[in-house]
Structure 1
């Protein structure tokens, strides 16, 4: 039942999404939100732009990861799959927590430490941006029974029913309804914005996209319908975006006397989920036209993007700490941060990670002779 054909569109979207995460973290010190390092001045305009784009970067990654998980599972037993996930996720996560994240902690609390060793003495070892890897591993393991069920003949009627729903003009848009309901209900119990796996509102939200990726990988027809209805999904995305920013900029005093705070937050979750789902389904439709071909550039990017993700935030924080001290405009600092951190990440990757077996393992890469097999 699983479509095992390599999806170059998803490979491209994985690269693009992680580069979008990189750009997001480049801008974080300057948008006035809480980050590990903060510029003295901030830009409200930058924050207004970033709040929109943060609605779909990670959901897209989770959906792609769900699809990739199903494809990986189709080639392995559940035990082989668990071993492969542990090698490619747990090893980089543990290595990252003890060697990649500590510089972030040091520069975040630099006024409290007299030297770098005190970071280790403090016992403070957060996952920071590596929460994505942690959540991905937990979801992959916890959902093994679901994957086994979907792979079995018992799920044929369910998959066929999804195909029938998705074939309708608005069918794929209907997939957002369980996401809306589940998010609103769980946010009442788990209102925290934390990405911790124990925060079930966040885990459900990203998990829904992950499971959707699994289901997309199981059915060939859904990809056909994503492509067929791409224009309608685009219109839905434009409408959702208008609703998103209309509500975002709506003065609080216009609605607070008539609508409770709980309802206002529920409306916010709705517009956020609508933007996420409609854009991702639109991209998955148009991606089959734009990015359907294999290329050497994609092969190189696809291999490098995982180490790039693991490294990027640490490099941004270390270099950014010194850049935010400069007497420059916010835009100049952002440009300088890009032109210093991006080449540095690539140099570290090419010289210290790519050539060596041990570093490839630590950063979750496949063996060089097995890549793309």
Structure 2
């Protein structure tokens, strides 16, 4: 592959493909959450413990990768507009969907979570209210839906939309840094190129992730509540800044391409080690030394998988086209609605007694189908587009069917 130039990076189609793929994996992951024995909003009456290692294939790195790609996208935007316009643009793009989700889209998730809890605990001190009553209690935080362990359902909530809330906050923090530090993007890029040379491209991020997991995670569990989620912030904001720094770096792109296969090999080995460890100790406590060592293994899996994906994407996914243009725009509305569709559909499918394979197939197809239908509807309605994070578009263009030829 010839050496890359800055002109090659005017548009990173590889990062667009990676973003779309990561969001699609997230949709599949949330379908899997219905079946895996882990706690979630609604659960299959027939959980599948053997699904746990499959779920662990993407859980260490999927959201970290999304924050990195989001940071890269922010770099391209920041280099075109003023700091004020960047902040206002991100507010206009992210805040309306977040509010829409918390008020309209997410409440059914809480409703069915309460319904399933009541069904499993007939002696619960609360019942399932009619929807209008439930929604009123949801919006006023007056539901008092508390489990036997004393944990209560907090409402209103953002559930899966925590990613959007964090992305909005990170962008505003970055805008402040851009206002204080001139040419921050170029300086951050130069620092990344200098610090991530040779094997340090793998070693330095792994060391940072392992240290954060060893020091911060025991103190700050992952809550997605923004104000007390410091381990998650350390990882996610660092990934966001790294994406901002590497987005336009031909040097780092070429280094990632060169290291893609060693990174993939390390990721596979680390995944196998951590998944085996998690399976063996899923109902027991390991020795502290082993527990600490596995945090390092988790960090190897987390970064090496990301590095391999970035390298493979830069080498093989560098072409655009109508399909990518359609999905790049559509994937955000997909993300907004997908989990509610999965929760509602899974709850009702479980009552039909279908073979589990068929049920899962319907759940996957139904979730993706509803996402496509939602996008096709909202992109045609000017007043609704902004609520789903879509920019304004001429009416004739918005009503045109997708052209994939």
Fold equivalence (TM over 0.5) = yes
CA distance in 2, matches of 1:48, 1:113: 35
Following superposition of structure 1 onto structure 2, how do residues 50-129 of structure 1 map, counting pairs within 5 Å?
Answer: 50-110=55-115, 111=118, 112-122=127-137, 123=140, 124-129=155-160
Following superposition of structure 1 onto structure 2, how do residues 1-373 of structure 1 map, counting pairs within 5 Å?
Answer: 5-110=10-115, 111=118, 112-122=127-137, 123=140, 124-148=155-179, 152=183, 156=187, 159-190=189-220, 192-198=221-227, 199-251=229-281, 256=286, 259-260=287-288, 263-351=289-377, 353-369=378-394
The alignment's TM-score, normalised by the length of structure 2, stands at 0.83
Q: Deviations over 1:196-245 (max 9, x none)?
A: 22210111122221121111125331112111222222222233223323
Counterpart position of 2:145:
none
Alpha-carbon offset, residue 340 of structure 1: 2.3
Q: Deviations over 1:271-303 (max 9, x none)?
A: 222211101111111111221011110001111
| Cα pair 1:2 1:70 within 8 Å, conserved | no
| Cα pair 1:70 1:147 within 8 Å, conserved | no
Alpha-carbon offset, residue 248 of structure 1: 2.5
User: Residue 368 of structure 1: SS of its match in structure 2?
Assistant: coil
Q: What residue ranges of structure 1 are gaps of 5+ in the alignment? A: none
CA distance in 2, matches of 1:173, 1:151: 29
Q: Deviations over 1:147-193 (max 9, x none)?
A: 4567527964x644532443314534322212221232111321x23
CA distance in 1, matches of 2:329, 2:63: 19
CA distance in 1, matches of 2:169, 2:346: 32
Going from structure 1 to structure 2, the CA distance change for 1:252 and 1:72 (only over 3 Å counts) comes to closer
Q: What residue ranges of structure 2 are gaps of 5+ in the alignment? A: 119-126, 141-154, 399-405
CA distance in 2, matches of 1:178, 1:218: 23
Deviates more, 1:110-119 or 1:207-216: 110-119
CA distance in 2, matches of 1:160, 1:59: 22
| Cα pair 1:69 1:214 within 8 Å, conserved | yes
Deviates more, 1:269-278 or 1:280-289: 269-278
CA distance in 2, matches of 1:169, 1:48: 29
* Coordinate RMSD, CA, aligned: 2.6
User: Residue 216 of structure 2: SS of its match in structure 1?
Assistant: helix
Counterpart position of 2:402:
none
| Cα pair 2:185 2:244 within 8 Å, conserved | no
CA distance in 2, matches of 1:207, 1:265: 25
User: Residue 19 of structure 1: SS of its match in structure 2?
Assistant: helix
Structure whose residues are more often helix by fraction: 1
Deviates more, 1:192-201 or 1:274-283: 192-201
Count of paired positions: 364
CA distance in 1, matches of 2:87, 2:192: 28
CA distance in 2, matches of 1:36, 1:251: 24
Going from structure 1 to structure 2, the CA distance change for 1:150 and 1:181 (only over 3 Å counts) comes to farther
